């Protein structure tokens, strides 16, 4: 009976820990002291028989293990205190209980619907990879970054110019799902070349802002399937001869494999407009326009080869002047410049110099700074024959182009017209034309002209012989 009473009292005294309900009940101090008095080890033999000692230390040293509870839409994130161990009690020096509580705290966090990550082709709407769901709890921070995909770049705006970058790429999770969309585009371009076909070189043009030469190439940047349209250019010194087949169309991006099996991005369309250089040609012509003997002028009969007869006895008293006309002709379509050189025959000299010519060791030099396309410039040279009986024979007078140039740097298309001759033969009146000179004349100006000249130089003696016959 005594043991039963002890057990009943102990039930009240013992800290009852309900794991499920977590309820604790305690005896007051007076009740504890009373039980100790009645049921001490010294005066309570029956407790020894029952094995029940009023020894609170043995009671509080009992083992315990707590199980966490599950709550819908919540996750336990941490535990404070020991969820498993031995019950303990703290007392003061007099044996009074100061703390007999074992506290275990479970902390929970509410689940978030997560953050769903998408990477999308803005043109087709196709996912570039499978969407990813990032799980977490309400209040968790997240930061979704853009990714790199072959041939793609992150799109910042749509075709209408509206911003498409995700404003919710970073933040904190909520109960509701957060969807983060990154859009991507495939960059593409069209390069338009303007090329001189003969040389394969890109044509240069003048920058209107700087005035300097620059490449005429055009680069049109866009994205896959963007429409493009190209046009030919007009160049001052070139003529269009060929257009590309696809002057307009859509930009495209293709991914192929190289020899090693690696992916290669082809996103460039190259188009070629071909041109040819406009013709550039400067030539010279020369002819005799006047023969002045002792102040008397006569017109030439041919202009290319003339003969002047001087009486033998009056050779040193006879003045002869030969007038030449020089033409510099730009027969091409490009303006240019030229330098001409007049070779003064031996035994002749310049009659006068009005500053048009620069004399250099028996040569006359003339610089023509500009000669427009189709333009002709004429110059006159008057040469004096040096009066001497020995200064006879053919006086070969040659004009030639020694240099030509133009802004685009074109080469002269025809060098066959870069020289011209106009010769004069000075002989005594009683002389006959040597057979060697006749042969030379045939080679120079043709049989018809020589025949004419030969008739002119017949001597009076030969005429008499013909009359006698």
Does domain 187-277 fall under CATH 3.10.20? My reply is yes
Does domain 115-185 fall under CATH 3.40.50.300? My reply is no
For the full predicted model, state whether its pTM sits above 0.85.
no
The pLDDT tens digits for 415-432 are 999 999 999 999 887 544
Residue 226 CA to residue 164 CA, distance in Å, equals 18
Contact 249, 227 (CB under 8 A): yes
pLDDT greater than 90 at residue 457 = no
**What is the predicted pLDDT for the residue at 31?**
60
**What is the predicted pLDDT for the residue at 38?**
59
Fold annotation for 282-429: Immunoglobulin-like (2.60.40)
pLDDT-derived band at 65 (thresholds 50, 70, 90) equals: confident
| Domains of the chain by residue range | 2-109, 115-185, 187-277, 282-429, 432-469
Please tell me if the domain spanning 115-185 has the same topology as the one spanning 187-277. yes
pLDDT greater than 90 at residue 251 = yes
Mean pLDDT of 337-364: 90
Q: Give the lowest-confidence range in 24-28, 173-177, 404-408.
A: 24-28
Contact 157, 163 (CB under 8 A): yes
DSSP string, 40-76: -TTT-HHHHHHT----HHHHHT-EEE--PPP-TTEEE
pLDDT over 90 percentage in the chain: 60
Contact 102, 88 (CB under 8 A): yes
pLDDT over 70 percentage in the chain: 78
pLDDT greater than 80 at residue 10 = no
């Amino acid at each position: 009976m005594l043991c039963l009473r002890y057990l009943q009292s102990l039930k009240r005294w013992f800290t009852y820990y309900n794991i499920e309900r977590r309820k604790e009940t305690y005896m007051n101090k007076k009740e504890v002291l009373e039980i100790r008095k009645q049921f001490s080890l010294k005066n309570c033999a029956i407790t020894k028989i029952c094995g029940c000692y009023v020894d609170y230390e043995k009671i509080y040293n009992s083992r315990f293990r707590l199980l966490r509870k599950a709550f819908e839409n919540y996750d336990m994130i941490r535990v404070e205190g020991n969820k498993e161990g031995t019950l303990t009690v703290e007392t003061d020096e007099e044996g009074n209980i100061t703390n007999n509580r074992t506290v275990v705290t479970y902390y929970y966090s509410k689940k978030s619907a997560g953050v769903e990550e998408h990477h999308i082709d803005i043109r087709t709407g196709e996912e570039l990879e499978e969407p990813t769901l990032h799980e977490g709890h309400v209040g968790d921070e997240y930061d979704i970054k853009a990714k790199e995909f072959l041939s793609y770049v992150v799109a910042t705006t749509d075709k209408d110019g509206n911003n498409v970058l995700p404003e919710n790429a970073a933040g904190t999770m909520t109960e509701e799902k957060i969807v983060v969309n990154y859009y991507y585009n495939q960059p593409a371009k069209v390069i338009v070349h303007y090329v001189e076909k003969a040389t394969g070189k890109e044509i240069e043009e003048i920058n209107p802002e700087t005035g300097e030469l620059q490449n005429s190439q055009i680069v049109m940047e866009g994205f896959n399937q963007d429409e493009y349209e190209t046009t030919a250019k007009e160049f001052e010194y070139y003529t269009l001869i060929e257009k590309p087949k696809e002057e307009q169309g859509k930009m495209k991006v293709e991914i192929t494999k190289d020899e090693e099996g690696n992916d290669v991005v082809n996103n460039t369309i190259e188009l070629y407009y071909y041109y040819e250089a406009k013709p550039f040609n400067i030539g010279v012509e020369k002819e005799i326009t006047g023969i002045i003997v002792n102040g008397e002028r006569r017109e030439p009969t041919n202009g290319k080869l003339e003969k002047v007869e001087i009486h033998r006895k009056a050779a040193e008293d006879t003045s002869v002047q030969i007038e030449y006309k020089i033409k510099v002709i730009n027969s091409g379509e490009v303006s240019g410049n030229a330098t001409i050189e007049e070779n003064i025959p031996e035994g002749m000299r310049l009659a006068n110099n009005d500053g048009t010519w620069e004399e250099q060791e028996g040569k006359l030099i003339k610089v023509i700074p500009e000669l427009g396309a189709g333009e002709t410039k004429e110059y006159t040279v008057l040469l004096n024959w040096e009066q001497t009986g020995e200064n006879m024979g053919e006086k070969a007078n040659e004009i030639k182009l020694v240099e030509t140039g133009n802004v685009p740097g074109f080469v002269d298309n025809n060098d066959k017209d870069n020289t011209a001759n106009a010769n004069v033969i000075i002989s005594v009146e009683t002389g006959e034309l040597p057979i060697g000179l006749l042969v030379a004349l045939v080679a120079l100006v043709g049989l018809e002209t020589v025949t004419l000249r030969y008739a002119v130089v017949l001597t009076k003696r030969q005429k008499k012989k013909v009359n006698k016959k």
